[in-house]
Chains A and B, each alone.
Chain A
Amino acid sequence: MIREKRQYILVYCSKELSQEDISALSKSISCLVGIMAFKDSYINIQRVDKSYIIISARSKFIKSIILATSLIRKLNGNSIRLYTVYTSSIKSKAIKRIPKEST
């Protein structure tokens, strides 16, 4: 089986995310994108900084995930905004885009 390429999206969050928020976010994105991605095999969300997360998914879902991030306004009842900063097929490249002052 040929493994499909994965891509990484660096996302800036307007509030610090807890583990609970991250699983809620995963569910919201999955619903919006229209895939059953509750298992880590499709969408994986990882916190890399207090206000930055990295979402990794199969390449074909990336554009839809970016659209989904612009539609999410609330998470666990609290308002939140997500801003896609950078996409790359290399994870370390995406992490490098985090401004120094934020770390």
Chain B
Amino acid sequence: MVRDTLTGSRIRERRTITGLRQADLARQVGISASYLNLIEHNRRRIGGKLLVDIATELGVEPSLLTDGAEAALIASLREAAADLSTAGAELDRVDEFAGRFPGWAALLTASHRRVASLERTVGELSDRLNHDPHLAASLHEVLSTATAIRSTASILAENDEIEPEWRARFHRNLNEDSLRLADSSKALVDYLDDSEEVPDRRAAPQEEVEAFFAETGHHFPALEEGSLTPDQLARDRAALTTDAARAIAGEALRQYASDAAALPLPDMRAALGDLGLDPAALAAHFDVPLQMMLRRVAAMPDDLLETEVGLVVCDASGSILFRKQVTGFALPRFGASCPLWPVFTALTRPQVPLRRTVAQIGRSTACFECFAVAHPRARPGFDEDPLYLSTMLIVPVAQPTDRDVPEVGSTCRVCPRTQCPARREPSVLREEF
């Protein structure tokens, strides 16, 4: 059914709401009732003066009766249907549904957005509960102390004949544990309160560094120009609150400065203009290692690239050392990442560049071209095992139409992909809730 047919359904809907009979509206706008009936059942197209007249009689703007007014609504409905494709929504009648029942359609799309938001929250909380060391330690402390109090109190309550020295010891224990519970509960509440007020609460130095880079757009003019040293930059930033964060940031900034010295911004600007966003060609052009070019591309200012890009650097254990977020490619904050990412595949083939198009499934599946390479962290000496890093540039691309794209996730706990050979643990999104 073509989009044009929406208008008729909307006219019928509005007329019914206003309580007008079909014959009365037809007479008011100078057409026959049977012709209006055809229009309302989407069997005749309508536009021009007749549309304006009908809109006037119905007391609405003509645009509300035309197709464009509900385009966003229809797009949202399609998105909702795609996210739950097994529900069997009649996609071929989505226009008709939106036109005839705009209120219900709006309710459905609002609910869909709400579910998406809640799923994200569940994912984040699950991620935090499982991997935030501070929260895990706090909860463990509270539960252990509560257990000690419960056991001790039960002994005192249920045993009338306890030796005085045992009774005194248990009373002392109860006093100690009650104080501990008060302290640990307060600390936990303070922590959670802070989390409410500061949505991007940073539980680890690496998170501080990530936020610091994100605030600058991963681009540092002072390092490009040489007006500040990496250590000065790391030391002066209020966003870096701990020595550990400043140390990690300092190392990342020294890497940045080294890359910028080898690949100056004006040269990169010119090469990107000539060669486009082709990391291999750019690396060959400058005769630099591929991983350096991947990092450098990710450090370009927003106006230089036609698209945003992401970057992930991990070590041989799979731990993510550095990341630049890119819209649509979820990088878990605490938990272990999806082992299907090309950055991890590259670790199985050191020094071999990998180029993979993948679709990260989740709330909205999106496609990305990933360029990855594993490389020694430093030049190894004789009889030394090299320490490898793997670097991956993530570039959003359109969904290819000529082939299937391998699916990857973010982290198992929030990944809806079933039958995944790489799954480590059940997802909280579909299986357990």
Chains A and B bind each other:
no
Q: Chain A residues in contact with chain B, CB under 8 A?
A: none
